[in-house]
Structure 1
Amino acid sequence: MTACGAEDDSSDGSGSEGGSSSEESSDASGGDFPEGDGVFTVGSLLPQTGDLAFLGPPEFQGVDLAIEDINAAGGVLGQDVVGIKADSGDGTPDIAGAEVDNLLAEDVDTIIGAAASGVSVSVIDKITGAGVVQFSPANTAAGFDTYDDGGLYFRTAPSDVLQGEILANLVVEDGASNVAIMGRQDFYGEGLAERVQEVVEEKGASVADFVLYAADAQNFTAEVNQIAATEPDALVLVAFNETTKIIPQLISKGIGPQDIPIYFVDGNLADYSAENFDLTGVKGTAPGAAEPDPDFEDRLRENPDVDDLTYGAESYDAVVISALAAIAAGNDSGEAIASEIVNVTREGTECTEFEECAQLLEDGEDIDYNGKSGPTDMTDSGSLVSGTYGINEYDGNTYERIDTVSGVVPETS
């Protein structure tokens, strides 16, 4: 996947301004942008189906709670926020494009999602080409930092340049010296696996084998046999729900969780209580606040479908940041919102709640929003300056955080 996508010809009928009026106005941000319709409308392009469906409930709930809090505080530009839900799937089959068409037809200003980097990159040209903000709570692929998105793509999850570094450091610090790496061959998996390889080797350990597999493969026998033949002393598995198929095959070849240390990433750090294998001792990384807000976590769990909290806070923050940007711009069009998103996350008066931040903006102050997921300071490319990861360990088939590591995201070129 190259770092620059094909240009969108806006032939989907949504128009180049994402459904906003073609009339331009000079707004509070000082730029000339299409005039919004006065109602800040948020589309959620998140996984209701597919291999990442376990991430859907906390993400949708995060969006819903943000809209609830914003509207309770008076809304955006004097109007209640409107939310519209859509299913991103996981790319197999590809349903995200049609779902995006439906959201654009509803005149959304910001689309929260997708969760999977591979799904987001498949629709980014359609969304940003329509003048709509794409704001992912969960995309971690490093390639987004250099993608030609017209300044309309943002994310509240840190880049895998940092996750790969933190995970590789953990593996080597745990004593591994001959590490096998197995990952999905897609926009997410390949980049993260390569970063792990890079840092493992920088730390002086060897990479026993580096194997990428087709994301839609029905079995992984050849890849597992290849890895087993190298006799690794640790394995990093960059995967989604296909983990449920891979683990039994690893066990059958003597390189399962009870044989060698195995490490997961955010894409497969999930509750596997329904499975009959034992993951005790497996470790994994996932973004998360250094000091999670227990009250907010309780609110996420008010949705009975929420088991895992991953990316719930990041989803909440993506909506709040977008709303604050609309207030700062005095305009709810996608392009106006995009022009202020980075500004409301850094170099101003610190604030942590929408109502507080919105009042500061109304008073003419610059703000620095720190959210439920932690500091949200962004680079000019719309990615986080720094990130925090939980180090998690399984006891049986459920996990808990055992440590927290924060760091600055290394620059990419």
Structure 2
Amino acid sequence: MSVIAKASAKRSARAAWTGIALAGVSALLLTACSSGETTEPTESDEAAASGDALPIEPGERDLTLKIGTILPQSGALAFLGPPEEAGVALAAQEINDADLGITVDVVYRDSGDTTTDTATVSVTDLLSQDVSGIVGAASSGVSKTVIDQIVAAGVVQFSPANTSADFTEYDDDNLYWRTAPSDTLQGEVLGNLIASDGNATLGMIVLNDPYGTGLAEFTKTAFEAAGGEVVAEELFNEGDSNFDSQIAGVTAANPDAIALITFDQAKIVTPALVGEGFPGDKLYFVDGNLADYSADFAPGLVTGAKGTLPGLDVSTLGDFTDNLLSIDDSLTDFSYAAESYDAVILLALAAYAANSTDGADIASYLQQVSGGSGDGEVVTTFADAAALLSEGEQIDYDGPSGPITFDEHGDPTEATIGIFQYLDDGTYERIGDG
């Protein structure tokens, strides 16, 4: 069963990876700086607003682009770290192997989660090394703790996995970008999926941070618009280890289904819920906890449970998945690997287009090289894209995460939400797209 959400984003024909348009794409004016002062529009702001493209200087390049990462090596999203870092490493390898006048150096650091100040320490270290861009964080809550520090330094922050809608209009001086879609889409797909499965009532156990509460809100809106009723919504905080009160609160409402909008807390909550008698096949997971639980859950515990995760089907991407495994052959989960790969490719292409590694210069070309402005030629590899840029031509990069096509807020305007179902052994398979 597939739940489809589309927007009417005008696109040229795509020769390679395609996606579904993001619902409700808005065109809003850039906000003024947080000091309250009015800033004069830059050349890039005016170009983006008018739909015109900035010029591309033809000729050879001699650039070294230093990128840092704050991806989860520890904390509640640590299971996302390996595929994300593999995506970054693969992109850097391919850019450097192309030998087209730009070299990418990557400095890997940990983001931790919001129970620690790991991300702040990592960002401080990366900024001291004069990075031009920082890929991460995976957690929207973690990004909230460091975005102002990164923006103040004039460095691009590029998340492969932040989905909180709060970032769309964040006062970021055009320096915050992401390849993951806002949870306005995932929430719509999840809410409609739960309703279409015949559930009339829904309970939710929700992480109390920008990611969790935002996704819960959009899920609730979609579910209730489809005729359902949310009968319980229990919150918890990052770092909590006991969820007895949340489980008691949600099961007391006797819902037909329960959505777990959590990170790895699902490892504790899920067995406890099923142990209380709630059917495992009536649980719904999200990108923050859709993981391989074969080593954590008893066989059959969540058989039939479903979940959602942004991104294209990696099994259809052929060489990309094989190349990821050449970077890290231990990978079994590929969540946000493509989005991390595309983040690095886009940063490099924007630097190449600008012929600069200054953060603001890179940011001024990111929408353009993604095809959000400029009406460029569709390309699907860094080498092909850089070759055109060296001739002064405009490009429209489409990568393994999809067409991307940034709007003026740094959000992708097109995305696919995968729908998954758990098997007897605690692994999951893709059963459709939304």
Q: Are 1:126 and 2:149 matched, yes or no?
A: yes
Structure 2 partner of 1:191? 214
Give 1:276 deviation, angstroms: 3.4
Q: Are 1:312 and 2:321 matched, yes or no?
A: no
Structure 1 partner of 2:350? 325
Structure 2 partner of 1:80? 103
Structure 2 CA distance for partners of 1:234 and 1:6, relative to 1, 3 Å: farther
Structure 1 partner of 2:265? 242
2:87 aligned counterpart, secondary structure:
helix
Equivalent of 1:257 in 277, 280, 298: 280
Asked whether the 8 Å contact 2:313–2:430 carries over to 1, the reply is no
Equivalent of 1:149 in 157, 169, 172: 172
Give 1:232 deviation, angstroms: 0.4
Moved more, 107-116 or 207-216: 207-216
Equivalent of 1:300 in 314, 324, 342: 324
CA–CA distance in 1 between the matches of 2:270 and 2:276?
A: 10
Give 1:195 deviation, angstroms: 0.8
Runs of 4+ with deviation above 4 angstroms? 4-8, 28-31
Give 1:5 deviation, angstroms: 13
Asked whether the 8 Å contact 2:63–2:103 carries over to 1, the reply is no
CA–CA distance in 1 between the matches of 2:284 and 2:219?
A: 11
Cα deviation digits, residues 18-68 of structure 1 (max 9, x gap): xxxxxxxxxx9579xxxxx94211111101111111111111111111011
Give 1:256 deviation, angstroms: 3.9
Asked whether the 8 Å contact 1:6–1:125 carries over to 2, the reply is no
**Percent of pairs identical after alignment?**
46
What is the alpha-carbon root mean square deviation over aligned residues?
2.0
CA–CA distance in 2 between the matches of 1:373 and 1:29?
A: 25
CA–CA distance in 1 between the matches of 2:325 and 2:164?
A: 28
Residue identity matched to 1:195:
F
Give 1:107 deviation, angstroms: 0.8
Give 1:6 deviation, angstroms: 10
Give 1:364 deviation, angstroms: 1.5
Structure 2 CA distance for partners of 1:393 and 1:207, relative to 1, 3 Å: same
CA–CA distance in 2 between the matches of 1:155 and 1:196?
A: 21
1:375 aligned counterpart, secondary structure:
coil
Equivalent of 2:91 in 55, 66, 87: 66
Residue identity matched to 2:428:
Y
Q: Structure 2 length normalisation: TM-score?
A: 0.83
Asked whether the 8 Å contact 2:402–2:414 carries over to 1, the reply is no
Q: Are 1:111 and 2:134 matched, yes or no?
A: yes
CA–CA distance in 2 between the matches of 1:368 and 1:275?
A: 43
Equivalent of 1:368 in 396, 403, 407: 396
Aligned residues: 375
Asked whether the 8 Å contact 1:290–1:374 carries over to 2, the reply is no
Q: Quick check: which one's strand share is greater?
A: 1
Q: Are 1:338 and 2:366 matched, yes or no?
A: no
Asked whether the 8 Å contact 1:29–1:330 carries over to 2, the reply is no
Structure 1 partner of 2:295? 274
Equivalent of 1:225 in 248, 264, 284: 248
Structure 1 partner of 2:376? 348
Structure 1 partner of 2:430? 401
**Higher RCO (C-alpha 8 Å, min separation 6):** 2
CA–CA distance in 2 between the matches of 1:275 and 1:185?
A: 24
1:111 aligned counterpart, secondary structure:
strand
Unaligned runs of 5+ in 2: 1-30, 36-52, 57-61
Asked whether the 8 Å contact 1:112–1:134 carries over to 2, the reply is yes
CA–CA distance in 1 between the matches of 2:55 and 2:421?
A: 49
Structure 2 partner of 1:15? none
CA–CA distance in 2 between the matches of 1:255 and 1:6?
A: 49
1:378 aligned counterpart, secondary structure:
coil
Asked whether the 8 Å contact 1:57–1:306 carries over to 2, the reply is yes
Residue identity matched to 1:300:
L
Asked whether the 8 Å contact 1:301–1:307 carries over to 2, the reply is no
Asked whether the 8 Å contact 1:7–1:125 carries over to 2, the reply is no
CA–CA distance in 1 between the matches of 2:280 and 2:310?
A: 23
Give 1:288 deviation, angstroms: 1.4
Q: Are 1:164 and 2:194 matched, yes or no?
A: no
